[in-house]
Structure 1
Amino acid sequence: MSNSKQIEIIGARVNNLKNIDVTIPRNSFIVITGLSGSGKSSLAFDTLYAEGQRRYVESLSAYARQFLGRMNKPECDQIRGIPPAIAIEQKTTTRNPRSTVGTSTEIYEYLRLLYARIGRTLSPVSGEEVKRHYVQDVVEKMKEYRPGTRMAVLSSIQLRNGRNLQEQLDILMKEGFSRVDVGEQFYRIDELLEQKQQPPAEEVLLVIDRLSCSSDKATVNRLSDSVETAFLEGDGECIVRFWGEEGIESFTFSNRFEADGITFEEPTEMMFNFNSPVGACPKCEGFGKVMGIDENLVIPDKSLSLQEECVQCWRGEKMSEWRREFVHNAYKVDFPIHRAYYDLTEEEKGLLWNGCHDQELYGINDFFAMLEKNLYKIQYRVMLARYRGKTDCPLCKGARLKPEALYVKIGGKSVSDLVLMPVTELKDFFDKLTLNETDATVAERLLTEIHNRLQFLINVGLGYLTLNRLSNTLSGGESQRINLASSLGSSLVGSL
């Protein structure tokens, strides 16, 4: 019987190994040294790793094995006591243009889950949190009032199929509704229909139910049914009015995920996946870059001002007319023609690039639009090609995700903000992140995995990297250390 504390290799004949017998202690740090060609890699990778991986894969079901690479059995008489093995490849990990540090270490996968579970969608208009209300929210609001307080459940009247108010009220009355609310006053529907002059439809609310606040089961059930009906009749909107001690108070609840007149997409895991059509920016398809006019080619020397001909394409006898025309009209928008390009504000750079057509000011983008309209001229095609390059996507600004995903925040940061942080800053952000009790419970395991993997990256000296750094731009040493951090982050024990 083999000793479980050691690995025994008998008669290894892989590559340069000449029928050797080796005993290697387990749970120890082992270094294999020797001259070039002496069989170090043959022993470590082609024998130990190959057999450990092969035996692990063969322990899986036939269905699982079809998705995994098969390794050949090393040529040796016997290997005993070998555990499952992990190896770090000594090469750049991938040339895939979609692969990043975040996806390679799986940290981004946990961030996607985190934002889908506890992310808060904020309206870009008002900055308010977008919420979907449920029946229970109305019940909780009722319980805030003193028992016996009068309340009413109302809904707006939807004029369906081109009906006018009178026709819609006739149908509602046939469905069993009897009252409406006009200006906080209740009227019977038949009385309102008898009036010669009826109020505008938007001022009329349908009375679903009138009841008194109470926490007993019968009242809660009745209120729940009434709110469900209000959501149905009001196209997802319910109005609840209370006659409290401080006067009349009305609250609007909506079971639609919307705010400021905008309907938002509820966060899901795939919404933050730039490798999926569900989450990828529709403009750049998740790459973050598009072929466009490269700012660095158009303005190679940013220490020059417009007057000093910082715009490369506006030089020469003919094209300099664009620069002279811009300089001539710059006073209309207070554009500083003598200020270096790198000292311009974002607003001033926007004027230089986009112009201000109301003031007859035409910018760099207008110039290239003119070139594109005249592509039948070979000199214009050549000039346009000279200034084209990979630039940040104008829609997602390089974030790779569709705009809806960037509305979702945790701790005031979108997932795009987090992947732009160096790993050390990102770990500080999560160390200082405070969550309410519910969110903390939901995110506990996700945060643990994120913390551990960030710490592993810092431990192997990669704290300066950002998670959106492309894998194919990493050096060989950085790629190796990322693979090492990924393996350590898996928390496997007892493996080789």
Structure 2
Amino acid sequence: MSTPAEFSGFVRVRGAREHNLKDLSVQVPRDALVVFTGVSGSGKSSLAFGTLYAEAQRRYLESVSPYARRLFNQVGAPDVDAVEGLPPAVALQQQRGAPTARSSVGSVTTLSNLVRMLYSRAGTYPPGLDGTYPNGPDIIYAEGFSPNTPEGACPECHGQGVVYEVTEASMVPDPSLTIRERAVAAWPQAWGGQNQRDILVTRGVDVDVPWRDLPEPTRDWILFTDEQPVEPVYRGRSFEETRQAVERGDEPNYMGTFSSARRHVMHTFANTESAAMRRRVQAYMIAAECPLCHGKRLRPESLAVTFAGLDVADFSRLPLKEVAALLRPYASGQGSGKHAQDHPAQALARQRLTEDLVARLDVLLDLGLGYLQLERSTPTLSPGELQRLRLATQLYSNLFGVVYVLDEPSAGLHPADTEALLAALASLKAAGNSLFVVEHDLDVIRQADWLVDVGPGAGEQGGEVLYSGPPEGLRNVEGSQTAGYLFRAAPHEKRPPRAPSGWLELSGVTRHNLRDLSVSFPLGVLTCVTGVSGSGKSTLVSQVLAETLAARLGQSGGPSETGPADEGDLEDAQPPGAAASLEGDVGSLSRLVQVDQKPIGRTPRSNMATYTGLFDPVRKLFAATPLARERGYKPGRFSFNVKGGRCPHCQGEGWVMVELLFLPSVYAPCPVCHGSRYNAETLEVRYRGQTIADVLAMTVDDAWDFFRDDAPVFRSLDTLREVGLGYLRLGQPATELSGGEAQRVKLATELQRAGRGHTLYVLDEPTTGLHPADVERLAAQLARLVDAGHTVLTVEHDMQLVVGSDWVIDVGPGAGDEGGRVVAQGTPREVAQAPVSQTAPYLAQALGGAGS
């Protein structure tokens, strides 16, 4: 650990006011590992990313042409008086995967580009493809080995690897129903279904007889025709009345266009931007392996080219450690004997490309990612895996004199994986770089050369520097919540583990690295599923168990009942295969809820008040005031999402965007409503002296006092305070919330609901982004759910939460092919003694108390 005299210089910040920072001034050393700590929402990221990185980016962009600036995702100039001594900066922020499954390990690390070039320039071409080097007339260029390009994608499946079709059975699940009773379940709801039915009546189809009794040619036309006839529609008339109207030539209600069920399903699946809609229509489709490329996604000509006997698809399916072993002889020149007749340029290309590939792969192997494959899609990766992939790219770049600003690099990492992360950070620092890390993990904090503790609380109670200096100096800082966990053993609950009320028996699990796995999950308790990153925890719990249980419970909309569907979910849909079997006390469960860290809204119009539902009773209170009743204002008048009460200039946004051409666009308060979102007439209505805009500007803590006598609102606010969100404003846009904050909003929404039977709550790494103090608060809320008669199942790395659980299932022992098995299960103390578990030593340490 360094001392202040050993540092080469300092970065000095004066007057930082970004977000909740209170005119903050601080200095941090360069060429050191600087860790920013503090409770969630204290202002750490506002200082590290919103101020330091934003200022570094602003200075860099000043040196490039105005045109080039338009190509950057500019974060905007920070609100700060001065920043001195700041080198160029690179940011590595937390991102949960790419939008679609077309992004992969290979594309994130740029390895795929090198592999495609390797096959293009040094591959073995079969007879019939002119492989004459260089640049024979039919040589396949690198784009031809990518399933995401027109040159490389299989023409049959368009680079998907699977083809989708529909059948009568998939679209008509119950042929005893009539068309009016929605026998054709694949048709859209509401207007679409009625439109189709009325058109069929016009054409002479009886929509009131069982589907199976319709003539087969009629059924085939309804389901599969490619025609789109336009027919008159006589709404509300019976079959006979419609036929008579057609014969008389009565004026129809409108002319409707008929679309067959197959056409509707296939068109919707290919073109809709709604993940929920795609999920619905996919239920009526049958997926099969593409008969042309056999799931390899590439055109036959590309698959005919090989390297070391493998086509590019098979090559991309190898674990990275096997790829490195395969390429190492070629990189050293020992593999060239197999290609003695090569053109010299081809031999040189092969050696140069394999040298580069091996060098990049070695970095990934050092970070413990050798079990991944190049084709593995990024939505299937954990945040920790994705963060390490990006970190590997920076390690290979060999930059010097740069500030790396990292956002919780240990997020999603098992304690054993954190050791590899620390070694990587040490390599970056040894190369002459500075590391500014926002972090909650105590193991990473203990390795810091310098700590900046921000707080003391969150939101308006934070934004101040409590301490800046070597870690040991934080020990006696009053008001620091970090010091209590860093230097003093955190007391653990001595409560004996709860006894299960039943069991779920999951068997026949085969997906990713899980091979015919069987496991039992206890009910009525808090269970933590542990294991190193990539061992198969999330696949087992968040995918297989959740999907299988959702199907058994009839939750056709998908397993998650909280939060919006993610656009990437469907892109990574699994190919058809044997389904897992779920037995045991399934009947005791009434529903499944997945509480994840996905955003609670995609636009600033969504906020905590609207998501939790507390805004509904608030609007009713305003509508019940004398002035509102006198004017005839209904609750909808006080919504900023509909016409009537909202500001007509900003459409209820409260802000307007100002385009600055070559500079980042800036947002300014609406000049009409001044950021209130409402028009002047609506703001004349007051409840206990406050306007509806004043209420949205309140923090949860302030609103808790204000609405103390209004039970429906107070109950929601009380729950939000209990999960540690008292510092958030009611109207704070959902886009400003961190993943941890979004997850706690969802949890609070569940906690305030009335009991609805026995619910199974599934949480995937719920402690990500949480300070140890917030983890303690989260654990209390999870215990509250269990005490209310529910089951909580979490995938977790944080030993602080694991030691307080009732049951632990450890998956491993390693990652990838070395994992996928249950290596230990039992109470925390029992698993802590398991000999083959990588979790056991860290769990034993946590049970004995941490600190120094």
TM-score, normalising length from structure 2? Answer: 0.31
- TM-superposition CA deviations, 1:330-375 (whole Å, max 9, x none): xxxxxxxxxxxxxxxxxxxxxxxxxxxxxxxxxxxxxxxxx99973
Counterparts of 1:440 and 1:57, CA distance in 2:
41
List aligned pairs for 1:56-71, cutoff 5 A: 56-71=60-75
Distance 1:52 1:430, change over 3 A: same
The residue number in structure 2 matching 1:6 is 10
The residue number in structure 2 matching 1:476 is 383
The residue number in structure 2 matching 1:202 is none
Whether the 8 Å contact between 1:53 and 1:84 is mirrored in structure 2 is yes
SS at match of 2:89: coil
Amino acid at match of 1:418: F
The residue number in structure 2 matching 1:275 is 148
Counterparts of 1:469 and 1:288, CA distance in 2:
14
Matched, 1:15 2:11: no
The residue number in structure 2 matching 1:414 is 311
Amino acid at match of 1:83: P
How many angstroms does 1:45 deviate by?
1.0
Counterparts of 2:84 and 2:350, CA distance in 1:
42
The residue number in structure 2 matching 1:459 is 366
Whether the 8 Å contact between 1:281 and 1:403 is mirrored in structure 2 is yes
Distance 1:446 1:70, change over 3 A: same
Distance 1:492 1:440, change over 3 A: farther
- TM-superposition CA deviations, 1:250-278 (whole Å, max 9, x none): xxxxx986xxxxxxx31212211222211
Counterparts of 2:64 and 2:101, CA distance in 1:
32
Whether the 8 Å contact between 1:292 and 1:389 is mirrored in structure 2 is yes
Whether the 8 Å contact between 1:4 and 1:81 is mirrored in structure 2 is no
Structure label with greater radius of gyration: 1
Query: 1:73 is matched with which residue: 77, 82, 90?
Result: 77
Matched, 1:375 2:248: no
Whether the 8 Å contact between 1:293 and 1:391 is mirrored in structure 2 is no
Amino acid at match of 2:155: P
Counterparts of 2:154 and 2:385, CA distance in 1:
28
Distance 1:405 1:133, change over 3 A: closer
Counterparts of 1:495 and 1:444, CA distance in 2:
31
List aligned pairs for 1:152-167, cutoff 5 A: none
Query: 1:119 is matched with which residue: 123, 131, 138?
Result: 123
Counterparts of 2:110 and 2:133, CA distance in 1:
34
The residue number in structure 2 matching 1:393 is 290
What's the C-alpha RMSD, in Å, of the aligned pairs?
3.6
Counterparts of 1:428 and 1:413, CA distance in 2:
14
Counterparts of 2:217 and 2:389, CA distance in 1:
44
Amino acid at match of 1:60: V
Amino acid at match of 1:484: L
Distance 1:30 1:456, change over 3 A: same
Counterparts of 1:133 and 1:476, CA distance in 2:
42
How many angstroms does 1:110 deviate by?
1.1
Counterparts of 1:405 and 1:76, CA distance in 2:
54
Counterparts of 1:487 and 1:131, CA distance in 2:
35
- Paired-residue identity, %: 39
Amino acid at match of 1:80: E
Counterparts of 1:405 and 1:131, CA distance in 2:
12
Distance 1:488 1:388, change over 3 A: same
How many angstroms does 1:425 deviate by?
0.8
SS at match of 2:287: strand
Counterparts of 1:81 and 1:409, CA distance in 2:
52
SS at match of 1:30: strand
SS at match of 2:291: coil
List aligned pairs for 1:345-360, cutoff 5 A: none
How many angstroms does 1:413 deviate by?
1.8
Query: 1:423 is matched with which residue: 317, 320, 323?
Result: 320
How many angstroms does 1:440 deviate by?
4.3
Distance 1:378 1:267, change over 3 A: closer
Whether the 8 Å contact between 1:460 and 1:481 is mirrored in structure 2 is yes
List aligned pairs for 1:249-288, cutoff 5 A: 265-288=138-161
How many angstroms does 1:411 deviate by?
1.8
Whether the 8 Å contact between 1:273 and 1:401 is mirrored in structure 2 is yes
SS at match of 2:15: strand
Counterparts of 1:372 and 1:58, CA distance in 2:
69
How many angstroms does 1:103 deviate by?
0.9
Counterparts of 1:410 and 1:474, CA distance in 2:
28
Amino acid at match of 2:144: M
Distance 1:485 1:121, change over 3 A: same
SS at match of 1:42: helix
Distance 1:133 1:268, change over 3 A: closer
Counterparts of 1:59 and 1:444, CA distance in 2:
37
The residue number in structure 1 matching 2:599 is none
Distance 1:104 1:372, change over 3 A: farther
Counterparts of 1:18 and 1:29, CA distance in 2:
24
Q: How many residues align?
A: 291
- TM-superposition CA deviations, 1:34-63 (whole Å, max 9, x none): 233332111111111111222222222223
How many angstroms does 1:405 deviate by?
0.8
Task: Give unpaired runs (5+ residues) of structure 1.
Answer: 135-254, 258-264, 299-370
SS at match of 2:292: coil
Whether the 8 Å contact between 1:123 and 1:407 is mirrored in structure 2 is no
How many angstroms does 1:290 deviate by?
2.1
Amino acid at match of 2:69: R
SS at match of 1:465: coil
The residue number in structure 1 matching 2:58 is 54
Amino acid at match of 2:158: E
TM-score, normalising length from structure 1? Answer: 0.52
SS at match of 2:155: coil
Distance 1:386 1:278, change over 3 A: closer
Matched, 1:442 2:328: no
The residue number in structure 1 matching 2:112 is 108
Counterparts of 1:51 and 1:288, CA distance in 2:
45
List aligned pairs for 1:157-236, cutoff 5 A: none
Whether the 8 Å contact between 1:97 and 1:287 is mirrored in structure 2 is no
- TM-superposition CA deviations, 1:394-445 (whole Å, max 9, x none): 2112222211111112222221121010111111111133135644422444
How many angstroms does 1:293 deviate by?
7.8
Matched, 1:495 2:368: no
Whether the 8 Å contact between 2:317 and 2:374 is mirrored in structure 1 is yes
Counterparts of 1:292 and 1:373, CA distance in 2:
20
Query: 2:29 is matched with which residue: 25, 29, 43?
Result: 25
Query: 2:302 is matched with which residue: 387, 398, 405?
Result: 405
